[in-house]
């Protein structure tokens, strides 16, 4: 069974204090790893898809990286508007090609 | 603007009543999904549909039903057989199962 573990559960940063969120996964045949941002009471917003180890993607202050066992979401010089819950999800080959397994998220708070 | 709409945003029902949640997309996506989100848990798949007039059960389909009569629409009915229906329900779509999913704003259902 595919599994996704995100750490830490919650993270509090000062504005400008860079850090990383971790997503550890076990999957039979990774087809894709996804990062989403979710604001309270709203649906997740798609950020990145990573397909193979070594791949990196960037968007503004966010950079996602992927190894064979984990993915990191690096946040550089965060601002208060980056406060949200960040979700990681993986798609493997088991369970049919529609199966996506989500982690429980890291709740990020950026303090001015 | 293309996107996914869900209605209503908040829904209140009494126990024993069936209720239908609406999901519409104008992204021309073939695949559509319904998830349930509970505090401290990852998103869990209820039903998915790859094409019109076809849908499959996800991990927690008991007490739910769906239809897919049009490409744009994928309504979810929460029946009285669902033992714990109070939750945040999210609809999503994707161009194909291997690609990222895009989410709607969600419907928060409260059953008392």
Report pLDDT for B40.
Answer: 85
CB atoms A36 and B103 under 8 Å: yes
Q: Considering only alpha carbons, which residue of chain A is nearest residue B32?
A: A98
Show pLDDT as tens, one digit a residue, over chain B (112 residues): 679 999 999 999 999 999 999 999 999 999 999 999 998 888 999 999 999 999 999 999 999 999 999 999 999 999 999 999 999 999 999 987 778 999 999 999 999 9
Side by side, the strands of the sheet bearing A19-26 are: A3-7, A19-26, A70-75, A62-66, A56-59
Q: Considering only alpha carbons, which residue of chain A is nearest residue B40?
A: A104
Nearest-CB residue to B97 (from A45, A98, A105): A98
Q: pLDDT tens digit string along A41-93?
A: 999 999 999 999 999 999 999 999 999 999 999 999 999 999 999 999 999 87
The set of residues, in sequence order, having a beta carbon less than 8 Å from that of B84 and lying 6+ positions away, is none
Cα–Cα dist B49/A33, whole Å: 21
């Amino acid at each position: 069974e595919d599994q996704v573990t995100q750490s830490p559960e919650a993270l509090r940063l000062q504005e400008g204090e860079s850090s990383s969120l971790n997503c550890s996964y076990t999957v039979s045949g990774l087809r894709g790893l996804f990062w989403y941002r979710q604001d309270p009471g709203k649906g997740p917003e798609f950020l990145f898809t990573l397909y193979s180890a070594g791949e990196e993607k960037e968007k503004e202050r966010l950079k996602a990286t992927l190894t064979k066992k984990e993915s990191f979401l690096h946040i550089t010089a965060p601002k208060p508007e980056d406060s949200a819950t960040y979700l990681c999800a993986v798609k493997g080959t088991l369970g049919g090609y529609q199966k996506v397994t989500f982690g429980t998220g890291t709740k990020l708070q950026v303090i001015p | 603007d293309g996107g996914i709409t869900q209605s209503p945003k908040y829904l209140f029902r009494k126990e024993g009543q069936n209720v239908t949640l609406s999901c519409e997309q104008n992204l021309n996506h073939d695949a559509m999904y319904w998830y349930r989100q509970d505090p401290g848990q990852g998103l869990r798949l209820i039903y998915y549909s790859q094409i019109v007039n076809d849908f499959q059960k996800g991990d927690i389909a008991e007490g739910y039903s769906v239809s897919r009569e049009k490409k744009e629409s994928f309504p979810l009915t929460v029946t009285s057989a669902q033992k714990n229906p109070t939750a945040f329900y999210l609809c999503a779509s994707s161009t194909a199962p291997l690609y990222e999913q895009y989410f709607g704003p969600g419907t928060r259902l409260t059953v008392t």
